[in-house]
């Protein structure tokens, strides 16, 4: 569903099944403009993925956006402490998603 919403908002996306796959893609040289992740994923969740990404200087400038259906202050604090730049509680609209992405991406990286 997220891939469809991103395409509808004009973004190109690469989907991963969990945090381990996302981390492997980054380690293999993927250079995304932004990383969207669910807080709760199999094998490696969003908190651990954010921590691992933020350990690498080469990924410092990649904005990390965490999403979760379990939206409470504690979870938002935990994911931001791990290195996420933003937290988007579910459910959200395509307009909410687009607004969040636009707030984190430079103008030249936004879809036209």
Residue 25, pLDDT score? 97
pLDDT digits (tens, 9 = 90+) for 66-102: 998 877 788 899 999 999 999 999 888 888 888 999 9
pLDDT digits (tens, 9 = 90+) for 13-48: 999 999 999 999 999 999 999 999 999 999 999 999
Q: Quick check: helix, strand or coil at residue 108?
A: helix
**Which domains, ranges and CATH numbers included, belong to the chain?**
35-105 (3.40.50.2300)
Pairing of strands 86-89, 64-68: parallel
Alpha helix (H) residue ranges in the chain = 2-8, 19-27, 46-54, 73-82, 94-104
């Amino acid at each position: 569903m997220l891939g469809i919403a991103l395409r509808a908002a004009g973004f190109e996306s690469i989907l991963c099944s969990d945090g381990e796959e996302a981390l492997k893609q980054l380690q293999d040289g993927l250079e995304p403009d932004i990383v969207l992740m669910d807080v709760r994923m199999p094998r490696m969740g969003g908190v651990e993925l954010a921590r691992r990404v933020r350990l690498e200087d080469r990924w410092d400038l990649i904005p990390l956006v965490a999403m979760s259906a379990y939206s409470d202050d504690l979870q938002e604090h935990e994911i931001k402490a791990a290195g996420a730049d933003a937290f988007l509680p579910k459910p959200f609209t395509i307009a909410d998603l687009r607004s969040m992405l636009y707030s984190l991406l430079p103008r030249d990286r936004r879809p036209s």
